[in-house]
Amino acid sequence: MHERMVLILKESVVRINEKVVVHFIKTDKFKSNVIAAFLLTELNRENITKNALIPAVLRRGTATLNTMKDISIKMDDLYGALFDVSTDKIGDKQAIQLYTSVINNKFALNGEDLMSEALNFMHEVIYNPYLENGVFCEEYVKGEKETLREIIKGKIIQNKSNLKRPISMILAMLSIILLLSSSRFCFVL
């Protein structure tokens, strides 16, 4: 016999402004809290590569935590909190996703407000990224372009023998590689 656990969650929704909606789902059933931010953009050829690079560059550093090492130390200070980013397709939109997981405050040894610290960290990642002269750090952008290029090349090689893959998809991947190779690609905030 299998036992089934039924979990009832209550969601609260707070509209910050026209474009920002915060959803709170509270439960005491778990030992950790997850904070996720989804930034939705139009899914089109002009933005797809930039949207894949933005979260990767944001993951590299903030105004006060300039490097991934600094972010790692911060996560360790939050009892081994996790932080990651990704992109995904949701309908006709592309979602830039940023998320962190931190233990519930009631498990903090010294009564720290870990949830507030995690929220402040997420705010800094989104609103105060690491910039040099008002733009994303060139070293970080170049590094993430190369990583994305290698991922795409790996997928092309992996699927090369799969003749069921439409040629248009392979051409699209190649065009992204060419765009990444372009020296004209930059972020300006």
**Res 83: pLDDT:** 95
The answer to whether 165 touches 144, Cβ cutoff 8 Å, is: no
**Res 25: pLDDT:** 73
In sign, the C-alpha dihedral spanning 89, 91, 92, 96 is: negative
Closest CA to 75 of 117, 24, 128, 33: 117
Give the whole-number percent of the chain exceeding pLDDT 90.
39
In sign, the C-alpha dihedral spanning 59, 64, 69, 73 is: negative
Which stretches within the chain are classed as H helix?
48-60, 68-77, 114-127, 138-159, 167-181
Residue 55 DSSP code: H
**Res 49: pLDDT:** 84
| Pairing outcome for strands 135-136 and 21-26 | unpaired
**Res 160: pLDDT:** 59
The answer to whether 111 touches 103, Cβ cutoff 8 Å, is: no
Report the 10 Å Cβ neighbour count for 60: 21
Q: Report d(CA 70, CA 62) in Å as an integer.
A: 9
Residue 118, CB-side half-sphere exposure with 13 Å CA sphere:
27
Over residues 136-146, the pLDDT tens digits come to: 999 999 999 99
Over residues 21-66, the pLDDT tens digits come to: 777 777 777 788 888 888 888 888 888 888 889 999 999 999 999 9
Angle, to 10 degrees, between the axis of helix 167-181 and the axis of helix 48-60? 50
